[in-house]
Chain A
């Protein structure tokens, strides 16, 4: 009978299961303040501005909070996070070029 063999787990632990829940979606954007979070790649700002213009044509949007990340590879600045979490009803962002 062949000898048994022992192997070591090469990982830093199991991959976590997706956690958290998707935030509740507002029934309407009427009166909403829309956060626009641009990552700085390509034409992200122009795209978000154009998207905001389209939204204002369809919904009664109350205003926007525009945030430009300092780099594609870092999160928004703490002050920007605060502006978003305190003032925005919904936020829109994206990734890629």
Chain B
């Protein structure tokens, strides 16, 4: 392996290192794991990456993000070495031109970066996909999402007050990562719908302006559940940009209490989109926002969550599809 290039700092003990990283502004406010050279090399080895491999760039900031940068921040986030291929894929996805790092991490709106994991890697590293999967308690979810955010902060320079200009920001910027419940659903997984082969592993990164729950405890049919979802989408509308067109991408995460009515009726994700499309594009009524989806595939349906609450979550996007889209990146190596 070629040599690590990052500057080295020596300390008398790990706690001194942690406190100094806080003082230097290199954390999200939570403690970090010391990124020792040996740990960083283990992470790079786990992903088959060389330190200088370029994962992406932020041209407006003259920033080049290398595998070494990602590995250092993944160690700091508390990842295990086996998570590194996922972290690298998430960084690549976010730094894709359509991931629009500069805008989505500098924005006044404080958009968060949602990482959705698909494929066998979920089970290999223990990604939570069912009950509680949006929240704390799952190391892979917590640290992979945090690793991406630390890269955004430390390497891409989205530091609050500097290039992060969020008015309020959001707790989802600490970490926001979960997996699709592929075992709990007969549907095509998100990454396969987006063109990757079954059996592959991938991450999809979507910048989320805000998210709302669409509860419906009454409906007992696929149509009823989707009618409720359409009402939620129409009530909220989607943020848009009149110069860039009407195409946005909305991630809809449907829990099992809603999913089962669609599955029992034999509906696929495509069937759900076909039913929703005319409901979402019908003329706007007073009090409603416009749902600016350019095409039915702009609605990304994901199976996740646990039993109990009959709800579906809607992740509204940051800006329009002409400059920002969810990006799916195939993982090049499994642990």
Contact = CB atoms under 8 A, between A and B. Distances in A.
Contacts of B76: 10
Interface in B90-117: 100, 103, 108
A7 B323 contact: no
A8 B63 contact: no
Contact of A8 (B35, B108, B323): B35
A10 B26 CA distance: 7
B73 interface: yes
A10 B100 contact: no
Interface stretch (B2-10, B80-88, B270-278): B2-10
A8 B39 CA distance: 10
A8 B24 CA distance: 13
A5 B37 CA distance: 10
B332 interface: no
A5 B7 contact: no
Given A40-B241, A40-B243, A95-B108, A8 B155 contact: no
A95 B165 CA distance: 11
A9 B241 CA distance: 39
Nearest to B26: A10
Nearest to A40: B243
Given A15-B157, A72-B241, A6 B6 contact: no
A70 B323 CA distance: 12
Nearest to B60: A75
Given A8-B8, A74-B323, A96 B69 contact: no
B155 A11 contact: yes
Contacts, number: 92
Contact of A11 (B17, B26, B36, B319): B26
Contact of B150 (A5, A10, A12, A74): A10
Contacts of B35: 7-8, 10
B162 interface: yes
Contacts of A4: 10-13
B65 interface: yes
Interface residues of A, number: 20
Contacts of B65: 12
Interface string B19-45: 001000010000000111100100000
B6 A10 contact: yes
A70 B245 CA distance: 11
Contact of A73 (B64, B156, B319): B319
A7 to B, nearest CB: 5
Contacts of A72: 241, 319
Contact of A9 (B6, B156, B242): B6
B14 interface: yes
Contact of A7 (B11, B12, B241): B11
- Enumerate the 6 nearest inter-chain pairs by beta-carbon distance, A residue then B residue, closest first: A8-B6, A9-B7, A73-B103, A10-B154, A10-B72, A12-B155
Interface of A: 2, 4-12, 15, 40, 70-74, 95-97
Interface of B: 4, 6-14, 17, 21, 26, 34-37, 40, 63-65, 68-69, 72-73, 76, 100, 103, 108, 150, 154-157, 159, 162, 241-244, 319-320, 322-323
Given A5-B11, A72-B319, A74-B323, 17 more contacts: A4-B10, A5-B34, A6-B8, A7-B35, A8-B6, A8-B7, A8-B9, A8-B35, A8-B36, A8-B68, A8-B72, A9-B7, A9-B8, A11-B155, A40-B242, A71-B241, A73-B103
12 contacts: A2-B12, A4-B13, A6-B36, A8-B40, A9-B7, A10-B155, A11-B26, A12-B63, A12-B64, A12-B69, A15-B162, A71-B244
